[in-house]
Structure 1
Amino acid sequence: MLRSIGGYDYPPHENANPVSDYRLITDAKKPVRVFSLSCGKDLWQGDLGVSYPELGKLAIRGAWMAFTSDDRLYLRWRDETVLLLNKITKDAPEKASFDCAKASNNTEREICSSRELSGFDRSISDAYMRLLNQTQDAGENEKIIADDQHKWIKKRNTCNSDKKCILSLMKFRLQFLVDQSRT
């Protein structure tokens, strides 16, 4: 199995750099802090970037994090996945999967008032859409999934503004949708 050699530049150059090699979006005039991640004395995921011994130290090895001046955090992960996290400001509105201005019941208003519940709501919506698309792509009837989602929303709405109740149902629903999309 081939492992990462590091970014888009092949072969890696002498000044290997995650910001340029991975084409990270940054302001070129502002500093970027890049850290290699270690676990004990070894690089975390130290096998990344070492499949080509002839490249020596030129390949960017292991997992790394890059902090940019615009409050972005990039994390290099397996299979050349780069996770991007953006800082959320204190005054940023919660964003549910639905228009909070049209929240029609206490449960929806509670979701809109909570960053945690809004995040779960978006995740459930994404997982539901992914499962629905997989079902359609397989030529199966998506009506069963849509009906089940509507039943679940009705059940969720019986929680009213009880955050623990809503959160509990959301966690189970998200796990259910994820498990269904794997089968």
Structure 2
Amino acid sequence: MRPLTLLTVPGLGSSGPAHWQTRWEQQHGCRRVEQRDWQRPVCAEWVATLEAAVAAAPGPVVLVAHSLACATVAHWAAATKCQVVGVLLVGPADVDRREMLPEVRGFAPMPLARLPFPSIVVASETDEYVTLARAGAFAAAWGSRLVNVGALGHLNSESGLGLWPAGWALVRELSSNVGAGEPATGG
């Protein structure tokens, strides 16, 4: 069985060196979906870049999205013909909130169609970009399991998650649910 391709999908500004996505890339061999412009995202462009990355992957894919990338994945799922093993959606930014940056609001409205693959939404009780109730509503609409991790902020570098082994366990769960093999590790 071919090893899984794990694609990290960062949000606005990308993920810096202390972010768990970057650490997973270094530790576990995940590949980053690289957007042309991390500071001025355009929804259609980000979705097209994600589509190209999934289509080019050498094996079955698990997506690991954070923040604005969760909206990207939801938009992508509504239009793609590509299949993925599963998706981990971490700290989904609520793109429908009026107080969000215009760049983030450009991804509104948040698609609420059921996702055509297994998915897990991970949310914090103290995320400044999405309430736990709203993250729960996303999870329900998408057919995702909701995991409440407590008071950990936006689940980014400032949250101090390091390699975030609890998150990696969720990736392993997604990959084992369909028998696609273990996530690839190493570089």
Shorter-chain TM-score above 0.5: no
In proportion to residue count, which structure has more helix?
Answer: 1
Which fold has the larger relative contact order, with Cα–Cα distance below 8 Å and residues 6 or more apart in sequence?
2
Q: TM-score, normalised by structure 1?
A: 0.26
